[in-house]
Amino acid sequence: MVQKKEEFKDLRFECLRCGNCCVDKNTLVNVTYSDILRIKKSLNLKIEEILEILGFYIFDKSPSKEELGKMVIPPIETERGLAFTGLKKKPSGECYFYDDKGKKCLIYKIRPMFCRTFPFTFRIFFNKEIANKAKIRMQYTEKGIEYCPGICENAPLIDEDEWIKVGKIAIEEMSANNILIKQWNEASQKGKITPTARNFVLTILNLEKKDSNPD
């Protein structure tokens, strides 16, 4: 009997480079501001070019509190409503950086954290008994279970320690990103900023300047 992926006792995975995660119409490619800065730096992009590779996807209807709580990256306030920020998708559903002919990612070495961690998701669990002891747990994402053929009974067991290292970086980048989004949304609600996509990217670029001029 074929075992269901979500029932595997130990995590198994090997990327088969099928590209499903890059072309799935219903998969939005999350980006954090760290991803945006990494891609910008590596490709030497100007602000207009950054806006060209990003998609600001407006929700059809406002997400509920419960839906918002499930999102790993919350939406940002824009002049058109709440928007999810990700890499732009082509009309066919492929990621902007997917090379359909070569069947590969054009920015593989600097791909967003979301792509690096797929098909896993990571969470921190705090142990109340032992102060300051936090543990990172990982599991397959719903999308991974849905369409990633690299998760299968015959795939090798993963090196959990190595993956946890990646997960730790992902959690740190996501936490910093979510703080930025919280500040942005609050500033927008108080009328302190004009919440355009361009201004959002400018805010991110200013973070880079602050990092390089810490004084």
Residues forming contacts to ligand SF4 in the complex (CB under 6 A) are 15-22, 29, 87, 95, 97-98, 105, 107, 111-112, 115, 118-119, 148-150
- Residue closer to ligand SF4, measured from CB, 16 or 68: 16
Helices H / strands E in the chain, number of each: 8, 7
CB of 80 to ligand SF4, least distance (A): 24
Nearer to ligand SF4, 71 or 124 (CB): 71
Which residue lies nearer to ligand SF4 by CB, 78 or 141?
Answer: 141
Report DSSP state, residue 5: G
Residue 192 Cα distances to 109, 151, 183, 187, 195, angstroms? 37, 47, 11, 5, 9
Beta carbon nearer to ligand SF4, 158 or 187: 158
Separation in Å, CA 93 to CA 61, 90, 104, 127 = 21, 5, 15, 41
Q: Helix, strand or coil for residue 65?
A: helix
CB-wise, 22 or 204, nearer to ligand SF4?
22
Min dist CB 52 to ligand SF4, Å, is: 15
Query: What's 149's DSSP letter?
Result: T
State the nearest-atom distance from the C-beta of 88 to ligand SF4, in Å: 10
Contacts of 25 (CB under 8 A, 6+ apart): 89, 92, 93
Within 71-214, residue ranges assigned H as helices are: 113-117, 142-147, 160-189, 197-212
Rounded to a whole number of angstroms, the minimum distance from the CB of residue 112 to ligand SF4 is: 6
